[in-house]
Amino acid sequence: MIPRADAHGVGQVSQFRGSEDGYCDRMGARILVLNGPNLNMLGVRQPQVYGENSYTDVIDVCRRAAVARDAEVEVRQTNDEAELIGWIHDVAREKKFTAIVINPAAWTHTSVAVADALVIPEVPIIEVHISNVHAREVFRHHSYVSPIAAGVIAGFGIAGYGYAVDRAVDLS
């Protein structure tokens, strides 16, 4: 796992390549996991809703799921919507990822721009949420991302990320 700041110094990026030595020699599934605003505050922000786990724990769940499937995963988080959209555009331009797992957080319910960007790369999209958004406030019941996604995983805590990475590998 290699945490580093992105070019803008805003987001967090962690990369991990599956296999015993930490690197994958073949081009298999390469999953990009994107996280939206406030997810960097997991474990601090409303633990009664989001649990006690930290963002580092999310990265670990994604890494373990990738290793189990001999896949590669890169995990990113940003509080800047333009940065998230730029990362999605890069998937289309660079063609180095075979699927996207995304927790758009608040942008799930508000951002047509994120939804519009997600159709550009033409890779499977898995939407994931830590809490069950359908059992929460009414405004959280609508998602601009769900109609684009191959599937939605919600309400299983951070374990949902592992399920999402696993399914993304299947769809890659």
Q: What are the tens digits of pLDDT across the range 128-162? A: 999 887 767 786 678 999 999 999 999 999 999 99
Q: Which of 50, 55, 144, 161 is catalytic?
A: 50
Q: Are strands 30-35 and 151-154 parallel, antiparallel or unpaired?
A: unpaired
Q: Is 50 a catalytic residue?
A: yes
Q: Which of 8, 89, 109, 129 is catalytic?
A: 129
Q: What are the tens digits of pLDDT across the range 30-46? A: 999 999 999 888 877 76
Residues 6 or more apart whose CB falls under 8 angstroms from that of 20 comprise none
Q: Is the dihedral of CA 75, 80, 83, 85 positive or negative?
A: positive
Q: Which pLDDT score is estimated for 135?
A: 67
Residue 103 pairs with which residues in a beta bridge?
35
pTM of the model: 0.80
Q: Is 129 a catalytic residue?
A: yes
